[in-house]
Amino acid sequence: MMEPGMNEPSATPETVDTATEAQKALIERVRDYRKQIQEGGGKDRIDTQHAKGKLTARERINQLLDEGTFQEIDAYMTHRHTDFGMHKSKPLGDGLVAGFGKVNGRRVCVYAQDFTILGGSFGEVAGQKVAKAMDLAMQAGVPVIGLNDSGGARIQEGVFSLAAYGELFYRNTLASGVIPQISVMLGPCAGGAVYSPALTDFVVMTKSISNMFITGPEVIKTVTQEVVDVETLGGAMTHSTVSGVAHFATESEEESFDTVRRLLSYLPSNNTEPAPAAEVTDDPWRMDPELNTLVPADPSTPYDMRVVIEKVFDLGSFMEVHANFAQNAIVGLARLHGQPVGVVGQQPLYMSGVIDIDASDKIARFVRFCDAFNIPLITFSDSPGFMPGVAQEHSGIIRHGAKIVYAYSEATVPKLTVVTRKGYGGAYIVMSSKHIHADLVYAWPTAEIAVMGADGAVNILFRKEISSNADPAAERARLVAEFRDKFSNPYRAAASGFVDDVLLPEETRPRLIAALELLRDKQNSLPAKKHGCMPL
Ligand code: HXC
């Protein structure tokens, strides 16, 4: 059923015949105001916005929310500034549309910068409106979605614009881990304007119309003499592949809103609620025999971990996050027997699934998000280890890699792990092993849980024996085979209880469903503290 509360002028009740002239005038005034509010910066600026291939703030909100559910607040607010011609124009709403509504029947708060009014620049009033929407979201315990399209801090308002951003950043920080926060980038986003999105949980960038940077190409040219275009500097592809600032890059505004709606379907409205279960559409006992032969016999031959994920979770339910950033790791949301779960894995197809700085950040951030919002974690571990090299060491692989251990150790949600192949050294420990208190750890028969791979181990342990042997190659091969037989398997770990069971790969789905069912009401708490000191 359509919800009441449309803000269109047509939603204003018809004037009844018995109304006096004074009553009619009151109603006409409301209608006039509503018309002005709807017109934003006027027809010409709306046309310019459309000519750039962009929707207006109101069109965006209407596309994002369930039809007719948007309830606007503060549409009458105007600025109080006079400098640089500001006194000449006081547009209603002041370049920001804020309010609340529903997405797939669930409540959300939303705001959208209106580029048709002073370039959507963020001033005192915009700050007050966003602050109110965020306060309402926190009080109601519902997600907040920001639609960003702005020239940044409103220059004419000076420190009042900066204060407005500061209030927004403060609220973003306090709301972090309490309600989901999603930023959709639909236009320019420069300077301090990038920090609110950066403080939110997910950033969705729309290709060709959005960009994000601290300083634009002109400033960069002056300061560092580098010449770069806007798209290369801070376009959707740059931030979704290179910097990791954006979690999703979409082809169109419509796709951005679809992404937000789908994302919300996995998330609870706030941190006190369980993640929303969906209707069960897939057989919990579905066992795909193709999984049994997916991992090649040769440990150096890659395979696609995405295939594992697609086959284990409810069909079609996997929504990858950060899909193009640090592709040696995979993170995303999926459903298992209808229950939302966070999926983390290595990708042997890309850099053999090694853990580098970007993969560490990607995994740690996602694990913490899932833990904050009661989303159980399921980890598919297959990594040869941390990335060696001077560049990685000097950029702090130690500090960044530590984030993964920290995030998993601290997570109190149900944690299930499947070691599919390489569980070598530090990578084995950090990827939600029993040793950092995963609840249940399973291994496939192809799992190799050891300090390192057979080749490397034999090189270190038996260098002298191999070089002094009459047939070094044969001796080497014999030792590698012996090492593999002894160490490159899951059974030593299983014999010590570090692996709870060795599964035939096809059994993974029903076994994870059963484990998740057991742990549904898991109780776990951390030592009392103000907050930990995560290695950032
Ligand atoms: C006031 C602004 C504005 C701003 C744009 N406008 N940005 N007004 N403050 N920050 C106005 C323009 O004057 C113009 O008004 C209208 O918005 C549309 O802008 P155009 O330039 O015509 O649009 P376009 O060609 O599409 O270019 C968009 C743009 C450009 C790339 C965003 O406007 C721009 O570079 N703006 C400045 C970006 C910036 O440096 N912002 C400050 C960042 S520093 P008229 O009336 O002429 O149509 C910052 C510090 C915050 O944000 C720190 C917080 C901690």
Is 426 part of the annotated catalytic residue set?
Answer: yes
- Interstrand relation of 106-113 and 248-250 (parallel, antiparallel or unpaired): unpaired
CA of 151 from ligand 1 middle (Å) equals 3
User: What mean pLDDT comes out for the span 290-294?
Assistant: 97
CB burial of residue 70 (10 Å; 0-12, 13-18, 19+): buried
Residue 108: how many other CB atoms lie within 10 Å: 27
What dihedral do alpha carbons 361, 366, 368, 370 form, nearest 10°?
Answer: -170
Going by C-alpha positions, the residue among 391, 376, 283 that lies closest to residue 333 is 376
Q: Which atom of ligand 1 lies closest to the CA of 118?
A: 17
Alpha carbon of 120 to ligand 1 centroid (Å)? 8
CA distance 317 to 338: 9
Q: Whose CA is nearest to atom 24 of ligand 1?
A: 119
Structure confidence by residue, pLDDT tens digits, 418-437: 999 999 999 999 999 999 99
Q: What is the pLDDT of residue 10?
A: 52
| Residue whose CA lies nearest to ligand 1 atom number 29 | 151
> How far does residue 499's CA lie from ligand 1's centre (Å)?
57
Atom of ligand 1 nearest to the CA of 153: 52
- Return the structure tokens found at 147: 């639609």
CA dist., res. 326 & res. 356, Å (int): 8
pLDDT, position 15 = 63
| Average pLDDT over all residues of the chain | 95
- 158, 177, 191, 216: the active-site residue: 191
Using the mean position of ligand 1's atoms as its centre, give its distance from the Cα of residue 153 in Å.
8
Instruction: List the structure tokens of 467.
Output: 């070089």
Query: SS3 for 65?
Result: coil
Please give the pLDDT value at position 193: 86
Question: What is the DSSP code (8-state) at residue 354?
Answer: -
Report the 10 Å Cβ neighbour count for 427: 23
For residues 411 and 406, give the distance between their C-alpha atoms in angstroms, rounded to a whole number: 8
Q: Whole-angstrom Cα distance, residue 353 to residue 351?
A: 5
What's the confidence (pLDDT) of residue 103?
A: 98
Q: Report the separation in Å between the CA atom of 91 and the middle of ligand 1, taken as the mean of its atom positions.
A: 17
The string of pLDDT tens digits covering residues 118-166 is: 999 999 999 999 999 999 999 999 999 999 999 999 999 999 999 999 9
Reading the block at residue 394, the tokens are: 């000097």
Ligand 1 centroid to Cα of residue 189, in Å, is 10
Alpha-carbon gap, residue 302 to 298, rounded angstroms: 9
- Nearby residues of 464 by Cβ (< 8 Å), 6 or more positions away: none
The strand pair at 377-383 and 339-346 is best described as parallel
Single-letter amino acid code for the residue at 65: L
- Give the position, in ligand 1's atom list, of the atom nearest the Cα of 150: 32
Q: From CA 501, how far away is CA 522, in angstroms rounded?
A: 20
At 27, phi and psi to the nearest 5? -70, -40
Ligand 1 atom having least distance to the Cα of 165: 54
Measure the CA–CA gap between 130 and 110, rounded to whole angstroms: 9
Q: Look at ligand 1, atom 23, and give the residue with the nearest C-alpha.
A: 119
Q: Which pairs count as long-range contacts for 88-94, CB under 8 Å and 24+ apart, including other chains?
A: 91/40, 91/41, 91/117, 91/118, 92/33, 92/36, 92/37, 93/37, 93/40, 93/117, 94/118, 94/123, 94/125, 94/126, 94/129
Ligand 1 atom with the smallest distance to the CA of 123 is 9
Q: Which atom of ligand 1 is nearest to the CA of 169?
A: 55
Which of the following is catalytic: 192, 345, 401, 453? 192
Name the catalytic one among 427, 438, 493, 494.
427
In this structure, what DSSP letter does residue 235 have?
Answer: B
Q: Which of 529, 530, 511, 528 has the alpha carbon at shortest distance from 519? A: 511
Residue 40 three-state SS: coil
Query: Crossing angle of helices 472-487/454-461, nearest 10°?
Result: 120
Domains, in order of start, for the chain: 41-264 (3.90.226.10), 289-453+488-518 (3.90.226.10)
Q: Return the higher-pLDDT residue of 474 and 14.
A: 474
User: Ligand 1: which residue has its CA nearest to atom 8?
Assistant: 118
In angstroms, rounded to a whole number, what is the distance separating the alpha carbons of residues 327 and 355?
A: 10
Nearest CA to ligand 1 atom 42: 152
Could you report the per-residue pLDDT of 202-238, keeping only the tens digit for each? 999 999 999 999 988 999 999 999 999 999 999 999 9
For ligand 1, atom 28, name the residue with the nearest CA.
151
Pair 412, 371: CB distance under 8 Å: yes
DSSP 156: G
pLDDT interval class at 14 (50, 70, 90): low
Closest C-alpha to ligand 1, atom 15: 118
> What share of the chain has pLDDT > 70, as a percent?
97
Q: What is the pLDDT of residue 11?
A: 54
Please indicate whether residue 192 is annotated as part of the active site. Answer: yes
Tell me the mean pLDDT in the region 74-82.
94
pLDDT at 1: 36
Q: Which residues line ligand 1 (CB under 6 A)?
A: 118-119, 121, 151-156, 162, 165, 188, 190-193
Q: Using CA atoms, how far apart are residues 499 and 433, in angstroms rounded to an integer?
A: 9
- With cut-offs at 50, 70 and 90, classify the pLDDT of residue 6: very low
C-alpha to C-alpha distance for 213 and 188, rounded to whole angstroms? 9
**For residues 522 and 528, what is the distance between their CA atoms, to the nearest angstrom?**
19
Give the closest residue (by CA) to ligand 1 atom 34: 151
CA of 188 from ligand 1 middle (Å) equals 9
Q: What is the pLDDT of residue 510?
A: 98
Percent of the chain with pLDDT over 90: 90
Q: Provide φ and ψ at 508, rounded to 5°.
A: -55, -45
Which atom, in ligand 1's list, is nearest to the CA of 120?
17
**Residue that the structure tokens 């420069």 belong to:** 190
Mutation test residue for ligand 1: of 54, 56, 118, 149, the one with most atoms within 8 Å of CB: 118
pTM of the predicted model as reported, rounded to 2 decimal places:
0.94
What's the confidence (pLDDT) of residue 7? 47
Helix (H) or strand (E) holding 380: strand 377-383
The catalytically annotated residue of 68, 338, 426, 456 is 426
| The pLDDT of residue 13 | 62
145 three-class SS: strand
**pLDDT higher than 80, residue 12:** no
| Alpha-carbon distances, residue 55 vs 2, 46, 110, 357 (angstroms) | 24, 8, 16, 37
